[in-house]
Amino acid sequence: MQLADLQVIGDQLALKWQGGEEQFIALEQLRNACPCASCCGEVDVMGRMHKGPDATLNEASYQVNQLHMVGGYAVQIFWKDGHSAGLYSFDLLQQMRPSN
């Protein structure tokens, strides 16, 4: 599925998918699920997990400075605390839909 539009509305990211489906994700949920190697870790060739130190989050950590589309598959969020390493794939964003 392709993303038609996105914008921050209050404390949520509003997404509109091609086909008209809309989705809202809390900014706090997005930041806490940051997919970058520093936040969630990455496995080296020997199978060992490497992760950066736990970040101290504050109010700015949950506020968006900018949004950038990355190709046709992801969104890069630039948070007001300076963090911007995570690429939120469209698949990841769709997985954040509330379960029914």
Q: What is the pLDDT of residues 20-41, one digit of tens each?
A: 999 999 999 999 999 999 998 8
The confidence band for 1, taking pLDDT boundaries of 50, 70 and 90, is confident
List, in order, residues 6 or more apart from 78 with CB less than 8 Å away.
64, 65, 66, 67, 68, 84
**Domains of the chain listed by start with CATH number:** 3-95 (3.30.2020.30)
- Give the ranges where 1-100 is alpha helix by DSSP (H): 27-32, 37-40, 90-95
Instruction: List, for residues 45-87, the tens digit of each pLDDT value.
Output: 998 888 888 888 999 999 999 999 999 999 999 999 999 999 9
pTM: 0.89
Mean pLDDT of 4-18: 96
Mean pLDDT of 11-26: 96
Q: For tokens 């900018």, what's the residue?
A: 66
What is the end-to-end Cα distance of the chain in Å, rounded? 20
